[in-house]
DNA sequence: TGATAAAATCGGTTATTTCCGATACCTTTG
DNA sequence: CAAAGGTATCGGAAATAACCGATTTTATCA
């Protein structure tokens, strides 16, 4: 993944917001939408206040750039932060940007 | 400046390239286009291979987000990296993103 | 002051992004 | 197997960004 793609993913208020919410799933989402693999799409959609398709696209975009980790579990798809990737990005900016 | 604006500024290959070139002005640009305040617009434009207006817009965008520092000197405008802002951005990602 | 040179701004075309509704795809459950 | 729930994908309208040429601004210098 090119760095420019990661920055594109981050250059949107709603997507940045998702990353913030996912820092503390149980605080920001009802427990039934959370598991150890993150938060399901539907709960994130509700909180975002956009259509299901938009929420799904934003989440899969963040996943493609490596910022989120996706886990399918039954009929649910859970997304959680990829803390490692975020740390790497921070280091990259400090060292290489 | 909102963070999303900084990420927008970084979500473009040409603008990332400018930041890279400015890490070592004398290596990447002829000496007559460089001074302690950075590199003049014309030299950056030549290296980018775009029109003067495009180069000027990209540079002023990077400056508005705080990533570059601009210094007018006679008829020349010099741009250099804002190392402090870049460091702050890296820290922000590590700590708050 | 007039010519020249560097850079910024303006107006416009094209490409990309945003965000939606509709539809298709899985998975569970009756 | 059919229905229903959760999610992904598709197609498109509107907003925004990319990038250009032309013009304007600012500064130098004869």
Could you read off the pLDDT of A47-92 as tens digits, one per residue? 999 999 999 999 999 999 999 999 999 999 999 999 999 999 999 9
Could you read off the pLDDT of B46-92 as tens digits, one per residue? 999 999 999 999 999 999 999 999 999 999 999 999 999 999 999 99
> Which DSSP helix (H) or strand (E) runs through A34?
strand A34-35
Instruction: State how far the alpha carbon of B15 is from the alpha carbons of A46, A90, B2, B4, in Å.
Output: 36, 18, 18, 16
Could you read off the pLDDT of B66-79 as tens digits, one per residue? 999 999 999 999 99
Give yes or no for residue B5 having a pLDDT over 80: yes
**Alpha helices, DSSP H, located in A1-97:** 3-10, 13-21, 25-28, 41-48, 52-64, 83-95
Residue closest to D5 C1′ by Cα: A75
Out of A4, A19, A95, whose CB is closest to B16? A4
The B-side interface with A (CB below 8 A) comprises 3-5, 7-8, 10-13, 16, 19, 86-87, 89-95, 97
Check whether residue A52 has its CB closer than 7 Å to nucleic acid strand C: yes
Check whether residue A26 has its CB closer than 7 Å to nucleic acid strand C: no
Give yes or no for residue A2 having a pLDDT over 80: no
Q: pTM (2 decimals)? A: 0.94
């Amino acid at each position: 993944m090119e760095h420019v793609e990661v920055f594109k993913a981050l250059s949107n208020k709603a997507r940045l917001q998702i990353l913030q919410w996912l820092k503390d799933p149980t605080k920001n989402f009802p427990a039934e939408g959370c598991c150890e693999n993150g938060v399901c799409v539907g709960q994130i959609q509700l909180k975002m206040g956009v259509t299901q398709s938009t929420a799904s696209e934003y989440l899969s975009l963040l996943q493609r750039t490596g910022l989120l980790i996706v886990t399918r579990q039954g009929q649910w798809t859970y997304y959680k932060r990829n803390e490692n990737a975020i740390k790497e990005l921070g280091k990259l900016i400090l060292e290489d940007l």
